[in-house]
Each structure stands twice: as C-alpha cells, then as structure tokens.
Homo-oligomer: A and B are copies of this chain.
Amino acid sequence: MKPKILLTGAFALYCCLATAQEPRAAGIDFLDDQKVIDEIYRLSLTKSKVYNWLGDMCLDIGPRLSGSAQADSAVEFSYRLMDSIGLNPTKQPCMVPHWERGQEMAYFTTSEGGKGELNICALGGSISTEGDGLYTEIVEVETWEDLEALGREQVEGKIVFFNEPMNPENTYTFHSYGHCVQHRWGGAVEAAKYGAVGALVRSLSLRIDDFPHTGSMKYDEGIPQIPAAAVSTRGAEQLSQKLKDGEQVKVFLQQSCQNLPDKQSYNVIGEIKGKKNPENIILVGGHLDSWDKGHGAHDDGAGVMQSLGVLELFKILDYEPNNTIRVVFFMNEENGLRGAKKYAQITEEKGWNHIAAIESDRGGFTPRGFHVEGNSKAVDKIIKWKPLLEKYGIHQLEEGGSGADIGPLQTDDNVLIGFVPDSQRYFDYHHSAADTFDAVNKRELELGMGSISALVYLIDKYGL
C-alpha cells in the first residue's frame, strides 16, 4: 500500500525557511515558491474540507435569502465552522431587507384557444399581485427603445414581456449577463411609466430550459409599483412564438410575495493574525446569503467555502503569514449589499488597512485566472507569477472587475481581485432551483480554492 503520510511538521518548517528569505533579484524565488504552491494544490485536492462544508450548508440548511431563518442558521453554522478552525470569528451586525416569496403561478392563453403553464418566479423585491391575480395581454419588447416605440397606447393595462436573450457570442458569459440584466433590474419601473400593470422578464440563462431565474429588481420613487416575475427561457420562447404567429397572448400571473421590515443579520469574519505586519490585511471572501431557490451552491456557497478553505489550508500547512489573512462571509450581496456597506463603514471607522482583497463569486467551476481591478502595476506583478500557476490552469491574469462585496474597499493603494473560474455553465444554475450542491464538482471547487490560496501566499510574501 502506498504511504500517504502528510509531513506537516517538516513542511511547516520548510515554509518558515522559505518565507524568511528575501526575494531574489528577479523578484520571485521560482524554485521554492513552486514547491510551496505545489503543496498548496496537493493539499487542496486531498485534505481540504471545503467540499464537505459546502455539502453540509447546502443540504442541512439550504438556500439563505437575507432575512430568512435559513440565513440565520447559516450565520451560526459559519461562526461555528470558523471557530472550529481557530479563526477567532466575530459576527458583524447589519440590518438586511426581508422579502418573502410566498406562492406563485402563471399560465398563458391565446386568441386561437391555446393555453399552457408557465414556469415563473417572482423577482426579488417584487410586490404581490392584487386580489386573485393579474390576467391581461402581454406585449413583447427586446430593448428600452422597443418599449418607447410602443408607447403608452399599446402598453397601458398590459404586461410588458422583456425578451432579450443573452448573447451566446461572448465567450465570457458575464458580458452577456451584464448587458441583459438591466431589464430584470429596471423593467418594472420602465414598464410602469407607460401604464403597464406587470413585468415579465426572460430568465437570464443561455440554456433553453424550464427553470425560472430570479434576481434583484428595483422600484423608483414616484413610479407606480407593479409586480415583476421571471419566466423560464423555454416559456419565453413559447410566448414569443405565439406573438410572432400573430396571436394575441394573455398571461395570468399570481404571486403572494411580500416585503417585510428589515431584520438584524451579520457578516461573519475570521482571521489568522500576521506575524510581521498584523495591521495589514489580505481579505478573501464571498457572500453567505443566496436567493431562495436551489441551494445557492455555486452562488455563492462555493465562494464562501473556498475563502474559508484558504485559511484552513494555511492552518494545515502550519504557515504563519506575514500579514493578517482575513475571511469575510458577507451578508446580503443579492438584494442590498448591506453587509458589504457595513463592512466598508467599519473599515473606515477602525482604519483597517486592506492591502488586497480577493472575492470569489462566479461559481465553483474549474479555475481560469484572476481579474485585477484598476491597478496596472499590480497586474504586471501578478502576471510575473504566471509561470508558477499555469500548470494548474491559471492563465487569465488580467485587468477586470473584482466583485460587488469588496468593491467599496478600494483605495488608492490597495488591490481588489476577482477570482475567475470558467464561465460557461454559471448561468445554467444562477438564481434558480438548479443551483444545487450536486451541480458542484469537488475537484473544480478545490482547484479554485487552491488557486486563491496560491495567490494569497504570493501576495503575502511579495506584496503587490
């Protein structure tokens, strides 16, 4: 039988020696760093508990919408988990919105006698329908210009059906999402300006299937509030086809969602104190809340557990970082960013110095690289580390957005980084009942965690 003993002690000693020496002329001690990084990945794939943690949270607690009892449970679960790893956790209070979905259903009828069920779900924050529900004609638009062209005459009293498919041509699927999301976010407001009584938005997915994908929406002061829902892509295709065939289409929509008073919740924070510069913080994080469909496994259970996994890995290695490594499970990314705002406020109050912050919130898929926000010097430095990371599939080290939760932490000096896994499958799951634990591959999750750990190791050693 193969011996599989982990020489933690000896390796820990090696790490101390390795980190004690100064970088050489070229700025990177490739030989030693490669050994450490190889060990980081090896442990990620063999010893990390990140996959089991995610399974426990997804299967025992489930989805974790801000304000829900499950979000409360997730806070307690996270605190205990951080405590068990020895991260001296704290709960940072913040008030969060409390929206509840209730019941929902929809169907359509056509002027030719057609009828069919629709897979829909209320958008997060939407009001309920009144009385027994809404039953009225729909008008289809793809752009704001389409809506304007229709005008009040053709929109008043109807449901506006926003049907812009995500553009399949973009290799990076987030670009397509970024373009379409405006209709989910602002559709109800714009439609209401023309007298619409409801908004139905094509789900933001590149697949044609039966899952409706929820997500956040807004109401504006002074504009009537109308109920808004997402319809599955197959449902959207069906409605659109009926309209193209010249039929008049009516939709029945019923949803009983409600906005309740804000609730107390928490960011959950743990850390390993730096031995040289404890006042300098390298933050890794994701968001603990999720939408109320599926398990919130990729969005963003994966991200929080990967972030925690980084600190666990340093503990397994018995590695003492120069700087403080802090993990933050942000609350309420999905519908308010209240946790991120609170963390940024406390950061200012306490004068916390984040030299770098890394966010993982694009799913637990096979790693591709990192996006570095607005700091070309840091990008240049990180690109020099590429030879150490390439064999693990990290090739995309480039400028780009970091993440919603760490965004408010930007200063003139620090560096914000977004972890970039492969994006092809993300919108198959995102904000839908399909985002379940079994959609996460253990190795992909672990390799992502290893990649973030390797980057944190390099930043801790060399700075940015």
Contact = CB atoms under 8 A, between A and B. Distances in A.
Given A424-B441, A424-B447, A425-B444, A41 B171 contact: yes
A51 B142 CA distance: 26
A42 B441 contact: no
Interface centre among A2, A142, A143, A146 (most CB of B within 10 A): A2
Contact of A168 (B143, B424, B441, B443): B443
Contacts of A42: 169
B41 A443 contact: no
B2 A142 contact: yes
Interface residues of A, number: 31
Contact of A171 (B393, B395, B422, B428): B393
A12 interface: no
Given A1-B146, A171-B447, A395 B391 contact: no
Contact of A46 (B143, B168, B173, B424): B168
A459 interface: no
Given A422-B366, A428-B441, A391 B207 contact: no
Nearest to A443: B424
Nearest to A438: B209
Nearest to A45: B168
Contacts of A173: 443
Nearest to A142: B1
A442 B166 CA distance: 14
A444 B391 CA distance: 21
Contacts of A193: none
Nearest to A140: B1
A388 to B, nearest CB: 13
Interface string A28-46: 0000000000000110011
Given A1-B143, A42-B169, 5 more contacts: A2-B142, A45-B168, A46-B168, A368-B393, A424-B444
6 contacts: A1-B142, A41-B171, A45-B169, A171-B392, A368-B393, A425-B444
